[in-house]
Amino acid sequence: MRPARRSGFLRTRLLFKLMLIFVLLIVILFEATTLATLSIGKAALSKNIQESYLRSANELADKVGSAAGRPSPDTLQNLVAGNGRAGAIAFLVDNSGALIAHPDKKRALQHELMTRNGAVARLLAGQAGAGEFQDELGSAMVGAYVPIGKFGWAVVVEEPIASAYFEMRRLETNSLLFVIAGIILTALTGIFFARSIEKPIKSLHAGDRGGLARRARLSYFDRLGGRDGQAGPPPSNQMTPRPARQPGAPDPL
């Protein structure tokens, strides 16, 4: 291969691979930006979910606190049964952490002690707000907890984290799969194109070496006066035999 042509092919191959690397870096940067945006959105969405629980808890506390007198157990049961988000439950506890009203009426009638519930423990410690905690069985929950100052009671609204963050987790999983698929597809595409351009260059390089050998062989036989390995006419410096003289013919000079 001529030095100029070989250098041109090498430059083309190098530029092509650099271009693929550049595209791959762009894709990785885009995927990283997507993950970072998703992480920020996840935190914002989690905060929004917790604020919705806090609104539900405050609404229930306002309803209980707005009563002229001490509400009856049936009234409280109706309030907690019809309050809260879909998939969430609300219940009331007194200043000792015992149940006053609960969607499971049997538990309310037994005045079950809920101090092992993380939200109730925070209420007894004088805290209020929204966040993640564990219920009395140790399951991960998310919700809100606010006091009812008029009666010394408190409201808790809670939901299992798995169901509360289901849509958010699904979005996160789909985005992660999209990122992985994008990186794999880009890598496979780069490998395919790199091989597709490398194979013709290798074939051309191999064919050019064969051409050089053939041209060298032809040049050697050209110097002998033949073509393609066939013997040519004898060299001019060899003596040619003289023809026999016919009887009676003059002697040639």
What is the full per-residue pLDDT of the chain (253 aa) written as tens digits?
455 555 555 666 666 667 777 777 777 777 677 777 767 666 777 888 888 899 999 999 999 888 888 888 888 998 888 765 667 899 999 999 999 999 998 999 999 999 999 999 999 999 999 999 999 999 999 999 999 988 889 999 999 988 877 777 777 777 777 777 777 777 777 667 666 666 665 665 555 555 545 555 555 445 555 544 454 555 555 555 555 555 555 555 4
* Within-domain flag for 1: no
Closest CA to 118 of 104, 139, 99, 101: 139
- What the block records as the tokens of 230 is 């066939």
pLDDT of residue 154: 94
* Within-domain flag for 135: yes
| Amino acid code (one letter) for 17 | K
Q: Which residues pair with 101 in a beta bridge?
A: 92
pLDDT of residue 174: 73
Distance separating alpha carbons of residues 66 and 82, to the nearest angstrom = 17
Q: Which residues pair with 93 in a beta bridge?
A: 99, 154
DSSP summary character for residue 142: E
pLDDT of residue 147: 94
* Within-domain flag for 193: no
Q: Note down the domain range covering 125.
A: 60-161
| Amino acid code (one letter) for 65 | G
Distance separating alpha carbons of residues 212 and 230, to the nearest angstrom = 20
Max distance between CA atoms of the chain, in angstroms, equals 165
| Amino acid code (one letter) for 248 | G
pLDDT of residue 185: 77
pLDDT of residue 165: 76
Q: Work out how many domains the chain is built from and give that number.
A: 1
* Within-domain flag for 198: no
pLDDT of residue 158: 93
Closest CA to 140 of 163, 112, 114: 163
Distance separating alpha carbons of residues 93 and 246, to the nearest angstrom = 147
pLDDT of residue 134: 93
* Within-domain flag for 147: yes
Helices (H), the chain: 3-65, 73-81, 105-109, 118-124, 161-164, 166-224
Q: Would you tell me the crossing angle of helices 3-65 and 73-81 to the nearest 10 degrees? A: 160
* Within-domain flag for 33: no
CATH number, domain with residue 136? 3.30.450.20
The pTM assigned to this predicted structure is 0.57
* Within-domain flag for 125: yes
pLDDT of residue 69: 83
Q: For residues 147 and 129, is the Cβ–Cβ distance under 8 A?
A: no
What is the dihedral angle through the alpha carbons of 110, 115, 119, 120, rounded to the nearest 10 degrees?
70
* Within-domain flag for 108: yes
